[in-house]
Chains A and B, each alone.
Chain A
Amino acid sequence: MPDLLLELFSEEIPARMQGRAAADLKKLVTDGLVAEGLTYAHAEAFATPRRLALAISGLLKETPARREERKGPRVDAPEKALEGFLRSTGLTKEQLEVRADKKGETYFAVIERPGRPASEVIAEVVQGVIANFPWPRSMRWGAGNLRWVRPLHSILCILSEEGQEPEVVTFDVTGIVSGATTQGHRFMSPGTITVRDHDDYVDKLEAAHVILDPAARADRIVHDAEQIAFARGLELVEDKGLLAEVAGLVEWPVVLAGKIEDRFLGLPPEVLQTSMKEHQKFFSLRNPASERIEGFVTVANIVAPDGGETILAGNQRVLAARLSDAAFFWENDRRKSLEEMAAPLAEVTFHNKLGTQGERIARIAALAREIAPMVGADPDMAEQAAKVAKADLASEMVYEFPELQGVMGRYYAMEAGLPQPVADACRDHYAPLGPSDDVPTEPVSVAVSLADKIDMLTGFWAIDEKPTGSKDPFALRRAALGIVRLILENSIRCDLNSLFQLSFVHRLEQFPEVFNVFVYDGDEPSDQLVLTAFGEHSPVDPGKDYFLLFESPRNLYLGDDEMAFLNGEPKPFKLPKPADLAYDLMTFINDRIRVHLRDRGFGFDIINAVTYLGGQDDLALRTQRVEALQKFIDSEDGANLLTAYKRAANILTAEEKKDGVEYSYPPDAKFAREDAEKALFAALDAAEPEIDRALGAEDFGAAMTAMAGLRGPVDKFFDDVTVNDENAIVRRNRLCLLNRIREAMHKVAIFSAVEGG
């Protein structure tokens, strides 16, 4: 069984693309070979800055011969049909077989495809893969037309087999002819290497100062960095992303360590770490005693005769220049109060239809104040935190290092002597950023985080920029999931729908500063516009229509094309009703919570049975009800009662349809004849107030227990009583009794949505 070794040797491949490219190379080549019938035992791909390599072992020597039969037109079919068939099979009429079947005689083509040697198939597949390689960005060079990530210089492609001379798989890609040679390290081992097979390749590369396997390079970096850190009494700060990148920047990693000058040690560790990582791809070394970042590790690509002294000195120099900049930002930023720092945000556009950052911050502050009591935060503090939480976006440091947003805000707030919860909110109000990111728990952070995310959603809902399909440029799904997690994980009791409405209202209330906002007198727009100035209708009524009258050049809420004028006069533009927008937004939240709860192990049907009750805008309560319902349905009583419910519901539906009436009147106990019937009345009389009481007390477990008490009487009723009695009054009363069961249960959940039963 031969093995294949393929190497595509180019100028430096961006580190971030190497891993994906190696995986793509493996998949595309092996898929291509297998599609041609050339199966293999094992395949592995590698990348270095200058090469992509693929080793496939246990390949077939040739593709299996194939016999293919294709049914053609009938012999008496029109000539055209036969011509088409001949064209598609590449055969002549004489080569076709004629076979008889029930309907008559039909042409058959029997195509014998002999096996093809592996090298032929490989050459074909590899050329195709190179020509269509899925680089995130590719380029042309020189006068050629080939596209690759950077200029492609040579291709090594060898088939080798134990005890035999290796065979070069020869092909030509726009003038680059494949061969058996490659090159080693650019500086340490210049010159050509001739390779026999995979093992020989790995060995010769290693001798030529190239470690082929990125994982091996990463291991060496970590090992050497830990050693060197340990020797200095420091520890390496782990950074997997940086490690992968650095391993993609070198073929022969050489770890060098340096010290951060004392004058920079006062900078926040995040600043040191970020500056070193972003600008220079340095690892940080931490002093375990002081927790400070005191050193760095840089990874060179060369073993220098001076032990790396020159390289280290150069790096140290660049670091000093960079950290001087950072120290300069740190000093400048701290000279301002956070309010001063935030001032320019009043002029920064958040989104061209949604006004400035300053306006957004004002809304978040107002909303955070309202939310504060619900989360146990001090309203003044929540408002204060919201007002300063985004100030650092205007700081010099965050301008330079956007990834330090929030982190710097916290430091600046602490430096300014603001209360710790306010400082923490600067950092933590962005969280949670992903489904596995920690959710803030400190009440002030929670209030600001919720307000921030709610404002984000209501803003984009107001301008109808909702996520569609895979498009979610403003990460609104993430914001919505953040809201869900903040509420559930902190067990916050709030009516989310009302908070959305409030946020929309805040938005409207901001408008008078920018626009003339009017409200119609009367419900329907009429030809005669009767407009009343906004201020006279305070507070804003979420159920009313509001209109913008454009007189200002500022273009909030609408794109230029939508600026509407009527006969040269500004035309009032109807704004969506806050209540309608909030309702629509709740359905978006419902989708997020469905997924979130399903991931926590609840059935979609259970979640729906609760959601369909409507008005479940308190997410914490909704979740408690889902939990109780799931537990109930999983119990024997629950499963049985569900069966009885479905039986009752089926009978009702069928009879209501047949009779064309709804049996929704309260049944009367005086028409009950059978014992089981009377017992059911009694059971309902007992259960209903208990269910109401339990629901009122938000004790869903007790409501389920009360409902479970119905199981016996309902079962007995169905065993002993015939609903469709001959007596019309008795029958109607029994149907109304079934309805009473249904309604009693619908207080708890819409059981028709629950599967099974």
Chain B
Amino acid sequence: MAETSAPRSFQEVILRLQTYWAEKGCAILQPYDMEVGAGTFHPATTLRSLGSRPWTAAYVQPSRRPTDGRYGENPNRLQHYYQYQVIIKPSPPDLQDLYLGSLEAIGIDMALHDIRFVEDDWESPTLGAAGLGWEVWCDGMEVSQFTYFQQVAGHDCRPVSGELTYGLERLAMYVLGIEHVMDMPFNDPAAPIPLTYGDVFRQTEREYSRFNFDQADTEILLRHFDDAERECASILAAEAVDPKMGEANVMAHPAYDQCIKASHVFNLLDARGVISVTERQAYIGRVRALAKMCADAFLSTEAGGGMEEGAA
């Protein structure tokens, strides 16, 4: 196996994962074009894990966690980072083996390393989602989250999706033997213009850390949250039948975009420290309510399996 040689750059780790999962039959999607906190928020996971239709996809998702910003100084923490996400419905019986194969593909030799599946049940209160699975350890370090979805947006998952989430920076740093994320080669170190992760992201980490913690206008954000919430509800309140087309056309995805927006605005407000402990629960509940509404709507669409015969 030629591929088990060590990759030389961050992007090579990503490319190998893309190639591997493409070979395993996944649709290789591109990142969702909105600010999200994790790959799970991509509608390719949240919405497509609902309903009965088979689905298989893999993609990189840039993810934002405003509270994790450290101005580019911390060796491991970033407010913007990449997740690699694989979602397969129904979860195949050999998902663990497929996953281990992906680690080999990025150069982790199973004979030399200690791979462990350690209990970690996953829950997303904002999405009303829960699953059972593990965090996967490689030599004591968590390299992935492995989850069998049981519930998403308040709906039981039937069939169950298997979800794999790789924290790309951390995984790549381990594979490449890098101590500080900013030192990690982004492209091939032998390239004519070699770039490190820091060359690409140090500037933005600094800027966004300041913005997230000190500058983001909380009044505007609070308004954005309310707007997104209202827009989401009004999109879904529209008549199911599109008067122009004369047939059903429920706008689950545009509504879900508003749910994503509300969730990110909430994360920013949280980073600004203007949300008290009790308010926190209320905001999370409001986002969850939006996710639930969008899920209900999606399940009534064709892609959600709602137009099939016998669908409720």
Asked whether A315 and B119 contact (CB < 8 A) given A142-B90, A310-B112, A321-B76, the answer is no
* Complex CA–CA separation, A49 to B115 (angstroms): 13
Establish whether residues A300 and B114, one from each chain, have CB atoms under 8 Å apart when the complex forms: yes
Q: Does B211 contact A (CB under 8 A)?
A: no
A215 → B minimal CB distance (Å): 21
Which chain B residue has the least Cβ–Cβ distance from A49? B117
B247 → A minimal CB distance (Å): 30
* Complex CA–CA separation, A151 to B92 (angstroms): 10
A314 → B minimal CB distance (Å): 3
Establish whether residues B277 and A151, one from each chain, have CB atoms under 8 Å apart when the complex forms: no
Pick the interface stretch among A12-20, A125-133, A396-404, A477-485. Answer: A12-20
Partner of B113, one of A140, A298, A310: A310
Asked whether A304 and B92 contact (CB < 8 A) given A139-B148, A139-B150, the answer is no
Establish whether residues B160 and A141, one from each chain, have CB atoms under 8 Å apart when the complex forms: yes
B148 → A minimal CB distance (Å): 5
Q: Does B230 contact A (CB under 8 A)?
A: no
Interface residues of B in 96-147 (CB under 8 A from A): 96, 110-119, 121, 131-134, 138-141
Q: Does B75 contact A (CB under 8 A)?
A: yes
Q: Name the B residues within 8 Å of A151 (CB-CB).
A: 91, 93, 148
Establish whether residues B140 and A319, one from each chain, have CB atoms under 8 Å apart when the complex forms: yes
Establish whether residues B113 and A311, one from each chain, have CB atoms under 8 Å apart when the complex forms: yes
Interface residues of A in 288-312 (CB under 8 A from B): 298, 300-302, 304-306, 310-312
* Complex CA–CA separation, A150 to B120 (angstroms): 12
Q: Mark A110-150, 1 if CB is under 8 A from B, else 0.
A: 00000000000000000000000000010111111000011
Establish whether residues B116 and A249, one from each chain, have CB atoms under 8 Å apart when the complex forms: yes
Q: Does B305 contact A (CB under 8 A)?
A: no
Q: Does B285 contact A (CB under 8 A)?
A: no
* Complex CA–CA separation, A311 to B117 (angstroms): 16
Partner of B93, one of A142, A249, A311: A142
Interface residues of A in 4-42 (CB under 8 A from B): 11-12, 14-16
Establish whether residues A187 and B132, one from each chain, have CB atoms under 8 Å apart when the complex forms: no
A629 → B minimal CB distance (Å): 52
* Complex CA–CA separation, A312 to B112 (angstroms): 11
Establish whether residues A150 and B132, one from each chain, have CB atoms under 8 Å apart when the complex forms: yes
B116 → A minimal CB distance (Å): 6
Asked whether A311 and B139 contact (CB < 8 A) given A305-B111, A349-B277, the answer is yes
Q: Does A317 contact B (CB under 8 A)?
A: yes
Which chain B residue has the least Cβ–Cβ distance from A312? B139
* Complex CA–CA separation, A249 to B120 (angstroms): 13
Q: Name the B residues within 8 Å of A14 (CB-CB).
A: 119
Asked whether A301 and B114 contact (CB < 8 A) given A319-B140, A349-B278, the answer is yes
Q: Does A89 contact B (CB under 8 A)?
A: no
Q: Name the B residues within 8 Å of A187 (CB-CB).
A: 110-111, 115
B184 → A minimal CB distance (Å): 15
Establish whether residues A153 and B93, one from each chain, have CB atoms under 8 Å apart when the complex forms: yes
Asked whether A11 and B90 contact (CB < 8 A) given A187-B111, A318-B141, the answer is no
Q: Name the B residues within 8 Å of A16 (CB-CB).
A: 119
Q: Name the A residues within 8 Å of B118 (CB-CB).
A: 12, 15, 249
Q: Name the B residues within 8 Å of A305 (CB-CB).
A: 111-112
Q: Name the B residues within 8 Å of A95 (CB-CB).
A: none
A284 → B minimal CB distance (Å): 15
Q: Name the B residues within 8 Å of A313 (CB-CB).
A: 139
Q: Name the A residues within 8 Å of B116 (CB-CB).
A: 249-250, 301
Which chain A residue has the least Cβ–Cβ distance from B121? A137
Which chain B residue has the least Cβ–Cβ distance from A313? B139
Asked whether A143 and B134 contact (CB < 8 A) given A305-B111, A310-B112, A311-B139, the answer is no
B96 → A minimal CB distance (Å): 6
* Complex CA–CA separation, A352 to B278 (angstroms): 10
Q: Name the B residues within 8 Å of A249 (CB-CB).
A: 116, 118
Q: Does A280 contact B (CB under 8 A)?
A: yes
Q: Name the A residues within 8 Å of B134 (CB-CB).
A: 12
Interface residues of B in 20-71 (CB under 8 A from A): none
* Complex CA–CA separation, A349 to B277 (angstroms): 9
Q: Name the B residues within 8 Å of A314 (CB-CB).
A: 113-114, 138-141, 174
Q: Name the B residues within 8 Å of A141 (CB-CB).
A: 90-91, 148, 160, 162
* Complex CA–CA separation, A281 to B132 (angstroms): 21
Asked whether A304 and B111 contact (CB < 8 A) given A139-B150, A314-B138, the answer is yes
Q: Name the A residues within 8 Å of B112 (CB-CB).
A: 304-306, 310-311
Q: Name the A residues within 8 Å of B121 (CB-CB).
A: 137
Q: Does B159 contact A (CB under 8 A)?
A: yes
Establish whether residues A302 and B114, one from each chain, have CB atoms under 8 Å apart when the complex forms: yes
Which chain B residue has the least Cβ–Cβ distance from A17? B119
Q: Name the A residues within 8 Å of B278 (CB-CB).
A: 349, 352
Establish whether residues A143 and B90, one from each chain, have CB atoms under 8 Å apart when the complex forms: yes
* Complex CA–CA separation, A94 to B139 (angstroms): 74
Which chain B residue has the least Cβ–Cβ distance from A13? B119
A737 → B minimal CB distance (Å): 69
Establish whether residues A310 and B139, one from each chain, have CB atoms under 8 Å apart when the complex forms: yes
Q: Mark A424-445, 1 if CB is under 8 A from B, else 0.
A: 0000000000000000000000
Establish whether residues A11 and B117, one from each chain, have CB atoms under 8 Å apart when the complex forms: yes
Establish whether residues A15 and B91, one from each chain, have CB atoms under 8 Å apart when the complex forms: no
Q: Mark A540-558, 1 if CB is under 8 A from B, else 0.
A: 0000000000000000000
Q: Name the B residues within 8 Å of A321 (CB-CB).
A: 75-76
Which chain A residue has the least Cβ–Cβ distance from B52? A143
* Complex CA–CA separation, A280 to B115 (angstroms): 13
B189 → A minimal CB distance (Å): 21
Q: Name the A residues within 8 Å of B133 (CB-CB).
A: 150
* Complex CA–CA separation, A305 to B114 (angstroms): 12
* Complex CA–CA separation, A352 to B118 (angstroms): 35
Establish whether residues A318 and B140, one from each chain, have CB atoms under 8 Å apart when the complex forms: yes
* Complex CA–CA separation, A145 to B140 (angstroms): 34
Q: Name the A residues within 8 Å of B113 (CB-CB).
A: 302, 304, 310-311, 314
Q: Name the B residues within 8 Å of A348 (CB-CB).
A: 277
* Complex CA–CA separation, A16 to B96 (angstroms): 21
Which chain A residue has the least Cβ–Cβ distance from B76? A321
Asked whether A11 and B140 contact (CB < 8 A) given A141-B160, A142-B159, the answer is no
Residue of B96, B113, B114 contacting most chain A CB atoms (<10 Å) = B114
A329 → B minimal CB distance (Å): 14
Q: Name the B residues within 8 Å of A298 (CB-CB).
A: 140
B5 → A minimal CB distance (Å): 16
B268 → A minimal CB distance (Å): 22
* Complex CA–CA separation, A15 to B92 (angstroms): 24
A392 → B minimal CB distance (Å): 19
Which chain B residue has the least Cβ–Cβ distance from A347? B276
A244 → B minimal CB distance (Å): 14
Which chain B residue has the least Cβ–Cβ distance from A138? B132
Establish whether residues B119 and A15, one from each chain, have CB atoms under 8 Å apart when the complex forms: yes
Which chain B residue has the least Cβ–Cβ distance from A279? B140
* Complex CA–CA separation, A250 to B117 (angstroms): 10
* Complex CA–CA separation, A144 to B162 (angstroms): 13
Q: Residues on A close to B: CB < 8 A?
A: 11-12, 14-16, 49, 137, 139-144, 149-151, 153, 187, 249-250, 280, 298, 300-302, 304-306, 310-315, 317-319, 321, 348-349, 352
Q: Residues on B close to A: CB < 8 A?
A: 75-76, 90-93, 96, 110-119, 121, 131-134, 138-141, 148, 150, 157-160, 162, 174, 277-278
9 of the cross-chain contacts (CB-CB < 8 Å) are A12-B117, A12-B119, A139-B132, A141-B91, A153-B93, A304-B111, A306-B112, A310-B113, A318-B141
| 4 further interface pairs, Cβ-Cβ under 8 Å (given A12-B117, A141-B91) | A15-B119, A143-B90, A300-B114, A311-B114
